[in-house]
Amino acid sequence: MTLLRDLFSIVAICAGGFFFLAGTVGLLRFPDMLTRLHALTKADNLGLGLIVLGLLPRVGSVLGGVKLVAVWALALLASACVSQVAARMGRLRDEP
């Protein structure tokens, strides 16, 4: 059972790490701002989400798990709103 739990954690955290890596590569290599934002928000949403998912079986208490999920939800909210604002600012700058 512990082995299965550890395996789940390892797979989820590695997958999360992969999305962060892919998001960073996208941020550096994609041609314009909108596609870069797209790459960046994938890192936040999926990368952080998978890492939180992988950590959930390892927290000792329910409250600790709820805090982890809350961290992910807040990051999700902030990244979604901020990327909207950044995209609009960028468009205003490019097409005055």
Partner 1 sequence: MSLGLDLLLAALMLGLAGWTVLGRDMFAAIAAFIAYGLLLGIVWVRVGALDVALTEAAVGGGVTGGLLIAAWARLRATAMVERKAGAGLAVLAALASLGVAVLLAAVVLHLPQPAPTLVPEAMANLAPTGLGNPVSATLMAWRALDTLLEKLVLLLALLGIWSVAPDAAWGARPAASVDRDGALTFLAQFLPPVGVVVGIYTVWTSADAPGGAFQGGTILAAMWLLAVRAGLADLPRVASRWLRLALVAGPAVFLAVGLAGFVLAGHFLAYPEAVAKPLIVLIEAPMILSIGVSLALMVAGPPVPKGDA
Tracing tokens 């999920």 back to the chain, one arrives at 69
- Angstrom distance (rounded) from CA 55 to CA 77: 20
At 96 the three-state DSSP class reads coil
Binding to partner 1 (CB under 8 A) within 73-92 occurs at 74, 77-78, 80-82, 84-85, 88
Is 34 a residue that touches partner 1 (CB under 8 A)?
Answer: no
Count the residues of the shown chain that bind partner 1, applying the rule CB under 8 A: 9
In the complex, least distance from residue 19 CB atom to partner 1, rounded to whole angstroms: 19
- Angstrom distance (rounded) from CA 75 to CA 47: 11
| Positions that interact with partner 1 (CB under 8 A) | 74, 77-78, 80-82, 84-85, 88
